[in-house]
Amino acid sequence: MMKAANTLKADVVVIGGGPAGMSAAVAAREAGAEEVVIIERESRLSGILQQCIHNGFGLHKFREELTGPEYGLRYEEMVKKLDIIVMTETMAVDITPGRVVTAVSKERGYFSIDAGAVVLAMGCREKSRGALSIPGTRPSGVFTAGTAQKLVNIKGYMPGKRIVILGSGDIGLIMARRMTLEGAEVKAVCEIMEDSGGLTRNIVQCLRDFDIPLMLRHTVVKIHGNKRVEGVTVARVDENLKPIPGTQEYIECDTLMLSVGLIPENELSKKAGVEIDPKTRGPVVDENRQTKVPGIFACGNVVKVHELVDFVSDEGETAGRAAALFSQGKSLSVSESHKNSNSHKSAVSVPREQKKGVKHLQGSGGNTVICTICPMGCKITVDKNMNVSGNTCSRGEKYAIQEVTAPKRTLTTTMYAEGGTMVPVRTDSPVPREKLFDCMEEINSKTLILPIRSGDIIIENIEGTGANVVAAGSFL
Ligand SMILES: Cc1cc2nc3c(=O)[nH]c(=O)nc-3n(C[C@H](O)[C@H](O)[C@H](O)COP(=O)(O)OP(=O)(O)OC[C@H]3O[C@@H](n4cnc5c(N)ncnc54)[C@H](O)[C@@H]3O)c2cc1C
């Protein structure tokens, strides 16, 4: 990287090393940018994917069902191969409209990079209790779902044992299953709306599999406890989402997990002078993902909250390619109708599997199954004579019969390694659902020794299921 009197120079600077930032950096290099820098405040790349150890990533991009760390690793390898400069443990603190990025790290102190183009890829953050104003005391034991996820999946700590989750979006649902598999009792998931905001498959595999109650049209109206949460009061809400008097119910618990929404990380975007869309709370961008400030691009969750990482990567590619062209002084074409793409629906067709909620599960009799083999998400019905309808391929028929007779699940969890590292692991094929807890017990009874590479077999034929437990991340 070139250096000019205390200020470094680069063609493209990407802020944030999550899936959006990594794919932007890769695309920028591939489009001819020579010096591409990723600035990432954490100690490694991959962003939120590191803690999303469940599977369900990459069906569109790689036509495979990967865990979050596995999806991230694919991009980390591309970043490495293309000689992209990665500055981890480095926090970007300022950007000028003229594209000078100021950052700070232990190694370099304060420094600036004069960038040909900048890509904002800082992701989003969770709404906290403060944003919800729940009355009651201020005991410990109230966590956002993402913080709890980080504690259990990265740090190896259990946030609590008896849990109520507020919010039934995918993060809330996934944490309900995760905590249950690790031995906690999830007493209820409360959802203020009349249907869950999560993917249908997550309602099935995270709640129904474990008989976790989903309390629709309910919210938490009070938190009890002094030092530690002792319980919460929940109540039904009316059509204006106001609690209905007389419907209060006390639930004893030691932990309340809040999974009530995400907001784009937009402080830096504002400093750069980019226009913020009041609806998405992220920068206004055009079809090249260029903000209203020339040469500053944005992609991924910093623009608007995305449900699927695959679309985040697509957006990163668009932004990275355009940033490379801008830094080379080439013009970017923008069609009039796409000047502000935030206000337009994504060009990518939304797969059926993404349809939301419990209602999507209600069939016309028989057993209704949402197929998860591919992103199509066919809604398949199996009647009592095992006649199957609604599938679009023979794999769907097989899946549906299996699901109603002897369901199987891919198990994803973490394993403790000497030195305190939590290594994400998965079974390499689905195991019978009733064996999940036996498999967890065997996994939790073992300690790993590093180094471990993604794909290494850790336990062969776990619990006689025929499936091996393999590492889903590399720790060298
Ligand atoms: C719990 C959960 C479950 C999910 N499940 C699925 C799923 O099953 N399937 C699926 O496809 N998608 C899923 N997603 C969605 C997907 O993971 C996200 O959409 C995607 O990770 C967003 O990528 P991003 O790069 O925009 O943001 P992030 O992954 O959040 O990355 C942003 C990065 O920017 C860094 N950063 C921020 N500010 C600065 C700064 N000032 N300086 C330096 N670095 C900075 C952060 O440290 C972070 O690494 C899930 C998300 C969550 C939270």
**pLDDT at position 73:** 96
Burial 273-290 (b: 16+ CB within 10 A, else e): ebebbeebbbbbbbbbbb
Going by alpha carbons, the residue nearest to atom 3 of ligand 1 is: 171
Atom 31 of ligand 1 has which residue's CA nearest to it?
18
Q: What pLDDT shows up at residue 443? A: 97
Radius of gyration of the chain (CA): 23
Q: What CATH code is carried by the domain that includes residue 46?
A: 3.50.50.60
pLDDT of 430-458, one tens digit each? Answer: 999 999 999 999 999 999 999 999 999 99
Choose the weakest-confidence range: 131-145, 165-179, 224-238, 344-358. Answer: 344-358
Give yes or no for residue 352 having a pLDDT over 60: no
| The domain boundary residue, chosen from 226, 260, 294 | 260
Each residue of 370-420: pLDDT tens digit?
A: 887 776 778 899 998 899 999 999 999 999 999 999 999 999 999 999 999
User: For a pocket test of ligand 1, which of 48, 73, 126, 354 has the largest count of ligand atoms closer than 8 A to its C-beta?
Assistant: 48
Ligand 1 atom at minimum distance from 307 CA: 15
Q: Is residue 236 part of a domain?
A: yes
| Ligand 1 geometric centre to CA of 262 (Å) | 11
> Domain residues for 185?
129-260
Q: Does 354 reside within a domain? A: no
Instruction: Note whether 38 and 86 are same-domain residues.
Output: yes
Residue-level pLDDT at 349:
42
91-128: buried (b, 16+ CB within 10 Å) or exposed (e) per residue? Answer: ebeebbeebebbbbeeeeeebebbbbbbbbbbbbebbe
Q: What is the mean pLDDT of the chain?
A: 91
Q: Collect all residues with Cβ–Cβ distance below 8 Å to 93 and sequence separation of at least 6.
A: 102, 103, 104, 268
Predicted pLDDT of residue 354: 52
96 in the same domain as 152:
no
Looking at the structure, tell me whether residues 9 and 78 fall in a common domain: yes
Is 227 part of any domain? Answer: yes
DSSP string over 166-234: E--SHHHHHHHHHHHHTT-EEEEEEESSSS--SBHHHIIIIIGGGT--EEETEEEEEEE-SSB--EEEE
Ligand 1 residue neighbourhood (C-beta within 6 Å)? 15-21, 39-42, 47-49, 52, 54, 56-57, 91-92, 121-123, 146, 149, 170-171, 174, 265, 268, 300-302, 306, 308-310, 312
CA dist., res. 465 & res. 476, Å (int)? 29
Q: Is the pLDDT of residue 3 over 80?
A: no
Please state the atom number of ligand 1 nearest to the C-alpha of residue 310: 11
pLDDT tens digits along 257-309: 999 989 899 999 999 999 999 999 999 999 999 999 999 999 999 999 998 89
